[in-house]
Structure 1
Amino acid sequence: MTALPTHRMQEVIADLETVSDKIRALDEAGFQRAEIARFLNKRYQHVRNVLVAPPKKGRGGRAGAAGRGTARKPPMAAHIQVGAGGRVVIPADLRAALEIGEGDILSARLVDGELRLLSPRAAVRKAQDLVRRHVPPNVSLVDQLFEDRRREAEAEADR
């Protein structure tokens, strides 16, 4: 058994109160579930249950009246082993978060030495966000297209 990096783990959980918050923070920092369980003197199943279950609302004072709607789920991370033939298995909790299933096709890109996978749903959201940044909220692109087509039809009819 290897020694746990307890100093680093202590730093990660220094300002946290609840065991669940500590488990989530250590997971986000990249520690494995077994390491977290040993460090916090909890059963592995407890750690797993906390990480699989969605965080309860109103806990930890983060989503109070002032922060309503601003609470964000912590980013998910995993250590993934490359198998035979370069195969990689995406863990179930990450697949659920990405809303992808068996047979779905993902887009893959290499960006600054990172492999980035993009689900079809995430690609649509990115495109919608891009359009929202460049089109004012009170403008209807559909109405503009119809108006352009009407003008073109009128111009052709006048010829």
Structure 2
Amino acid sequence: MSPELERNLAGCKTVAAKIRALDAAGYPRAEIARLLGKRYQHVRNVLEEPGPPKLDAMAAQGMAEADATFFHHTPPHTYFLSVGANGSVVLPPEVLKALGARPGGIVIADLEDERFTLVSGMTGIQLMKARLAQPPRPGALASEELIEERRREAAIEELEAQIDGPGPSRDD
């Protein structure tokens, strides 16, 4: 390894840090991949992924520099989850932590069209309260909406029973 290359990589503990250091030194991506023995796609992913916001950028957006240390905004993450043979999906630990989900706890799920959204129990309660506070649609009977909602819940319970088999009921 050349002395110049060693200088560029000094202090880099991770492969991603080495990739970023070589990129900052002006090395092309293909050369970085060759030098580090990595695939080009790996180098590209590291250089294309958004990093945490810079303190200067946050201060420029109107935040006081002293306050910036308390805030860390990370972009939304996409997870590819496998569906088990019984239809179960296991959430990554960081998702469970973000939702405040503990064993025996509650996470609220909302299915709309082809989008399934999970929120923490407290957020779900707040959303439900906001929904209930909205005035009813003109011409809609609350009883018809209640019956339709109960039919949806019954269909979900029946599907869960088919997937999970017999188990504890909601009343337990």
Q: TM-score range by the shorter chain?
A: 0.3 to 0.5
Using the size of structure 2 for normalisation, the TM-score is 0.38
Which one scores higher on RCO, CA 8 angstroms, separation ≥ 6?
A: 1
Higher CA-based Rg:
2
The two structures have a TM-score, normalised by structure 1, of: 0.40
